Structure 1
């Protein structure tokens, strides 16, 4: 089969690889019909390369058709159409029972002290072959895959794999409620969808902050107040501008949808680039013991949110020695919630919205549909934010 394969920093290729096969009675094989390109994939493309191995298959946002099932997958049959969550969870352990599928005790990667295994990610999360491919082996298929109707285009349901539950959890963790205010830092796929969900759930004021004109224009056209980072010479000017539209207090909640590759953190960027130039084993040890993130987005979120407010972090961070402004966090009495999205926890809330009315605009959310063989150019396009790229879907 054809698959998108990692070979090094900014080096992904579409190659022929062996077809996946059933290995466990709880496995299924699906034929992928669409697979998304995620901001988390860009971390592998640029920052988290020390934890990758040449030959790793990328991708974790698939929709497709069941081809084959193991003997212990009673709920699926060949021909079923399914969305596969990006994390692999068993559905029966104590963590899954609490709706924390990203902490699944059956699939935790204990040798690295991390949570549930993820498709198409680093060895820290199991290095499970990913979904930017023609076929995908799905472990724990008795629980993970979400059956969806045949008929509508893939765009209607594919975002159940990651984008929708990640944005939904970000908004829920932010405590958004009717009449509240929320600012979203970073208007990529997750940030843009979080703005839509916040408005859908009744937020009186949604503020979007970014520095990419296309992304600012898109959410502004959807009723979001926007602020361009590049329009302010100093952070205090942006804080004052947001304060002016929030009664001088700041928003009730701030969602950091940026993460480790934040714009405007030269020291963090240099540290990440230096690690990327080292031999892989040295770089891996350095990042595990002294890794740092570019923290400008999180520091801005802390400064923006009102006293007694809530920070919701959906952007991926991987540093082990990140400095945190503890005095400010304590003095402002902030609540912080974060983590990978627990897809199955939120799926039942989201599915009723994937109707013909399309209140979240999923049918037109993707900006680019590319054949799988164009994955390398898709990665470059998305990383450079060129041609208005917000969401790229690959079609094998």
Structure 2
């Protein structure tokens, strides 16, 4: 089969790879009909996440048709159409029973090594380093899905791939980011980052009834899309984020702040961002926490910070004293995808939201390597790329 494979920093190639096979009775093999490049994939492309090996298959946003099922998998049958969440879940451990699927206790077969490096690991993840299990990803013609009787979302007839693909990651990620803010009708919700996750977060905050949603970015196409979704926008290249947010909230700051950026945050005219880049260059800091600092400074006292943006290691100079004295609540983590998908699928079916709005580029799988660069560099108006194997 053909697949997009990692061969080093900034080196993704469309190669031939072995076809997957059933390895466990609960497995299924999926013929991929649509997959996508995620912002988190760029952390691998740019070399910020350890644990990748030459030839690893990329991608954790994918869907398709079941073509083979393990003998103990009674939940699926050949011909079923499914979206596959990026988090691999057993459905049986204590955390899965509590709905905390992103910290499944069984699916990460590399958990011992990951715990030593990060302090604690996630569930197993598709296409996301050997520290999250080393599972081949979904930017391929076929994928083996472990624990497939639980790790799937069955899709009813009448919905296109483009409408439902993002149920596997960015839509529930944006929804969880907003939902864990416990949004009140009087709230201003400020969202740093208007990429794909930020766009889903904007629309989720609107659906959850926020009085005002503010999106912070610097890319014109992203800001335009954010405004179309109901947000007031701040271009951080041309405006002071802190001053503008104070103006929009009568000097009090937003009640809820969401970091939809993560470890590769950018800033202009910022001493702390220059400090982070210098420390990152000599491996004294792994992530750039400019957005986290800014959220602490601007959030209204007793407010909430929600962090769906991915962080991979250690950060420096975080104003924890200000956070503590303000009484801020932090909520973060990888997405508990299956906790949200029944409700989100219903909202798609009812026409409350069509997640396909975020797609700007649809290309063949073979064009994936060049689209990684286009997406990373925000060229050609690129906000979200889907791939067709």
- TM-score tier (shorter): over 0.9
Count of residues in correspondence between the two structures: 377
Matches within 5 A, 1:354-373: 354-355=348-349, 357=351, 359-373=352-366
Q: Distance in 1 between matches of 2:305 and 2:102?
A: 20
Task: Tell me what 2:263 maps to.
Answer: 260
Deviations 1:279-324 (A, max 9, x none): xxxxxxxxxxx54311111111111211110000011111235332
Q: Does 1:394 align with 2:387?
A: yes
What's the counterpart of residue 201 of structure 2?
194
* Counterpart check, 1:324 vs 2:318: yes
Q: How far, CA to CA, are the matches of 1:19 and 1:376 in structure 2?
A: 20
Alpha-carbon distance in structure 1 between the residues aligned to 2:229 and 2:86:
28
- Map Cα deviations across residues 35-74 of structure 1 (whole Å, 9 max, x no partner): 1110100000113254211111000011100000001110
CA distance in 2, matches of 1:395, 1:54: 23
Which of these residues, 206, 214, 235, is aligned with residue 207 of structure 1?
A: 214
**Which range moved further: 323-332 or 265-274?**
265-274
Offset of residue 93 of structure 1: 0.9
**Residue in structure 2 matched with residue 66 of structure 1 by the alignment:** 66
Instruction: Identify the residue that residue 303 of structure 1 maps to in structure 2.
Output: 297
Aligned residues: CA RMSD: 1.4
State whether residues 179 and 208 of structure 2, in contact with CA within 8 Å, keep that contact through their aligned partners in structure 1. Answer: no
2:307 alignment partner in structure 1:
313
Equivalent positions of 1:242-261 (< 5 A) are 242-261=245-264
Which of 349, 362, 371 is equivalent to 1:378? 371
Question: Which runs of structure 2 are paired with 1:279-298 in the superposition (5 Å)?
Answer: 291-298=285-292
Q: Which runs of 5+ in 1 are unaligned?
A: 276-289
Contact 1:292–1:322 under 8 Å retained in 2: no
Residue 8 of structure 1 aligns to a residue in which SS?
coil
Structure 1 partner of 2:339: 345
Runs of 4+, deviation exceeding 6 Å: none
Deviation at 1:272, TM superposition (A): 3.5
8 Å Cα contact 1:104-1:115 kept in structure 2: yes
* Alignment check: 8 A CA contact 1:369 1:395 kept: yes
| 8 Å contact kept, 2:183–2:210 | yes
TM-score, L = length of structure 1: 0.92
The match for 1:41 is 41
Per-residue CA deviation, residues 102-159 of structure 1 (Å, 9 max, x unaligned), is: 1111113233211211000011111110000000000001111110023432011100
For the residue of structure 1 that corresponds to 2:87, the secondary structure is: coil
- Structure 2 distance, partners of 1:24, 1:298, is 42
Return the offset for 1:201.
Answer: 1.1
Q: Report deviation, 1:180.
A: 1.6
Query: Within 1, Cα distance between the matches of 2:216 and 2:146?
Result: 38
Cα drift, residue 273 of structure 1 = 4.1
The answer to whether the Cα contact below 8 Å between 1:8 and 1:49 also exists between their aligned partners in 2 is no
Q: Which runs of 5+ in 2 are unaligned?
A: 116-120, 268-272
| Post-superposition offset of 1:213 | 1.2
